[in-house]
Structure 1
Amino acid sequence: MSWQAKLEHLLRDRRSGSLHLLGRTVHLCAEMAHAGAAPEHLVAVVERLQQAHPAMALLWNLGQRLREQAAQGATAAELVQSAQRFAEEVAESARQAVESVARELPSGASVLTHSAGTQLYELLRRLRELGKQIELFCTLSLPGGEGAALARTARRLGMQVCLVCDLQAYGVLKQVQLLLLGADALCLDGLVHKVGSAPLAYLAWMEHRPVWVLACSQKLLPQPWSEELEGEAPPCLRSTLPQRRALYDCTPWEHLTLVATEQGLLSAQLLRKQLLALTPEKPSNRGR
């Protein structure tokens, strides 16, 4: 398959998580450089992927990194090396965040998840290595239905797991001890993640259930939430009926409890202050 065909596939991918897409983007850049692509072409491809997946902070931050280095005269090979270093840094940060949650999550805890991603899969494997059993509830996570694959993995790992329809999750929330979410970005207004995360986190907040987020510092996105970040989901039904096709929503910081990064499990409000300190000129859209 040519790199052009691989690019088109990445542009259309609405199932893979941001860590997986980052790795494939870096491989694509390496293939392009090997084929003789100029530095500006690598930057342009990353920008196209960033526009196709607007909520994924890892692609935003990779694009910013490569743009700055290309402007300073970096060669295509140097840009690839930089992208590979960034991917390695992200992988290590994500691993440390998973380790923090695996260590702190008590054995026997009942946990509800929404959507799926590399860090959630790695967390399940790490829990098994530590000999910890949890009761896991996975939403189907439409559109996409990636929660089913997460549930199948949990069952293969010997965990007690139950797959629930997305709307059933509101009833399940009253039975569990914790809502655990992944992250596509942590913006000035809160957590950007699969559509449906925000109302689940709101109900968890109302029910006094903690909401934990698996992330890493490279997923910090120093900009406010906007409609641009909603992305576009595949149609939920083949029909001429009008359909709401948002793929992501934004959970306000006040509905989050702890965020796992390479620094450990941090208070959501502390992480928010760190992000605001980095970008004092970018006001939040919340509360306007």
Structure 2
Amino acid sequence: MSSVRGHPHNPQSGRLPAAWQVHVSAIRDDHTSGAASLTARAVEALVDLAASLQDSWEGVTMAGMISSVNTAVRELAAAQPAMAPLRRLCWAVEAAAENAAEEADASALATAVRQAAAAFNAAMQEHQRQAAEHAAALLPTHACVLTHSASSAVEAALLRAYSSGRLARVSCLEARPLCEGRSLATRLAEAGIPTALAVDALAARLVSQADVVLVGGDSVAPGGLINKAGTATLALAARACQVPVYAVCQSEKFLPSLPRTRQTGARPEGFAVADRAQLAGEVLPDPVPGLTVANYYFDLTPLDYLTAVISEAGPLSANMVRGLATGLRAPSSG
């Protein structure tokens, strides 16, 4: 990760070093990493930024310093709007910056930013570990599991279940167009787990052969689960086959409302997607005149289509998730 030290900026106007945009762009352009990985990278960027800004904050008002911090974290959250942990990280850092305002000291503010970011990431990782433990314990003995895309929380649950003798085999849907499911399937196979990789079109066939569908998630809100496109279809197929569907999502992925779309600013309804249309070339390399390509990375699965959301607190019903998510509040500055 390149350093942002030494680049001039004006905290009083909220402007950030030019190199900061390198960090933001790298997160924005990463379409294969999950929420946990992107959040860890965002934390590294914030730690680096805090050190850089501290070097340039002498003589700047506290309001100007806080303005710079708030601008930075909001740019991170906007880089991947479907990823709830980035927004929750934004909230944590904004709150820490406001709490440090009484110090009126650049060093204290920079320390508060670093500590808040690191604490958020540490809690998220620990909560993911606990959620994975709960998910592994829920699997029936010698379970056949079907999963979609490449969730680090699901991967942790599957590894734990296999080590305890609860897992017989895994089928991974590849998750087109970038096919991150292939990397998960490869890692599971290398760990000794009997694993099959399947094209997404086989989801309905494979779900009838599974004991459990286990997916991750990027955001959980009262309106549903945002995850890789294809999750909603998989949940519908599992519902028809009466196969339980669990989403492994620690509480840092909960939001009181769904992210807003880039296209209209409106919250998605029903099965509408929560992100912008991606590059047509990922699906159709050679453009055809008059032919448009629909390529979305995420879809929305109603909570009632899930058997449970598994967090660090264990399995949560749809109503429990709605209650927990609705109670969340962003800082007043957000």
What is the aligned counterpart of 2:97 among 56, 59, 70?
70
Displacement of 1:232:
4.5
What is the aligned counterpart of 2:317 among 267, 270, 288?
267
Distance 1:231 1:54, change over 3 A: farther
Mapped partners of 2:29, 2:303: distance in 1? 30
What is the aligned counterpart of 1:59 among 64, 80, 86?
86
Letter in 1 for 2:82: A
Displacement of 1:49:
2.3
Taking the TM superposition and a 5 Å limit, the aligned residue runs for 1:60-99 are 60-72=87-99, 73=101, 75-99=109-133
Task: Provide the secondary structure at the position in 2 that maps to 1:75.
Answer: helix
Distance 1:264 1:222, change over 3 A: same
1:237: which partner in 2?
A: 284
Taking the TM superposition and a 5 Å limit, the aligned residue runs for 1:271-286 are 271-276=321-326
1:48: which partner in 2?
A: 75
Task: Provide the secondary structure at the position in 1 that maps to 2:31.
Answer: coil
CA contact (8 A) 1:128 1:157 kept: no
Displacement of 1:71:
3.7
CA contact (8 A) 1:53 1:231 kept: no
Mapped partners of 1:205, 1:161: distance in 2? 23
Mapped partners of 1:122, 1:265: distance in 2? 16
Task: Provide the secondary structure at the position in 2 that maps to 1:162.
Answer: strand
Displacement of 1:121:
2.2
Higher relative contact order (CA 8 A, sep 6+): 1
* Alignment: residue pair count: 279
Displacement of 1:158:
1.1
1:17: which partner in 2?
A: 34
More displaced 10-residue stretch of structure 1: 61-70 or 212-221: 61-70
Unaligned stretches of 5+ residues in structure 2? 5-18, 55-64, 102-107, 263-273, 330-334
Task: Provide the secondary structure at the position in 1 that maps to 2:53.
Answer: coil
Letter in 2 for 1:260: I
Displacement of 1:35:
2.1
Displacement of 1:39:
4.6
Mapped partners of 2:238, 2:322: distance in 1? 20
What is the aligned counterpart of 1:186 among 220, 231, 237?
220
1:282: which partner in 2?
A: none
Task: Provide the secondary structure at the position in 2 that maps to 1:134.
Answer: strand
What is the aligned counterpart of 1:206 among 225, 229, 240?
240
Whose Rg is larger?
2
Q: Deviating runs (4+, > 6 A) in structure 1? A: none
Displacement of 1:205:
1.0
Letter in 2 for 1:43: N
Displacement of 1:40:
3.5
Mapped partners of 1:225, 1:203: distance in 2? 26
What is the aligned counterpart of 2:51 among 20, 34, 39?
34
2:159: which partner in 1?
A: 125
Displacement of 1:43:
3.0
More displaced 10-residue stretch of structure 1: 238-247 or 212-221: 238-247
CA contact (8 A) 2:74 2:90 kept: yes
Task: Provide the secondary structure at the position in 2 that maps to 1:110.
Answer: strand
Task: Provide the secondary structure at the position in 1 that maps to 2:75.
Answer: helix
Mapped partners of 2:252, 2:47: distance in 1? 21
**Does residue 221 of structure 1 match 2:255?**
yes
1:103: which partner in 2?
A: 137
Displacement of 1:134:
2.5
Q: State the Cα RMSD in Å.
A: 2.0
Letter in 2 for 1:230: D
Distance 1:124 1:62, change over 3 A: same
Letter in 2 for 1:272: R
Mapped partners of 2:243, 2:146: distance in 1? 11
**Does residue 135 of structure 1 match 2:169?**
yes
Distance 1:251 1:82, change over 3 A: same
CA contact (8 A) 1:39 1:79 kept: no
1:250: which partner in 2?
A: 300
1:103-133 C-alpha deviation (Å, 9 max, x unpaired): 2212311111011122122223222332333
Distance 1:278 1:61, change over 3 A: closer
Percent of residue pairs bearing the same amino acid type: 30
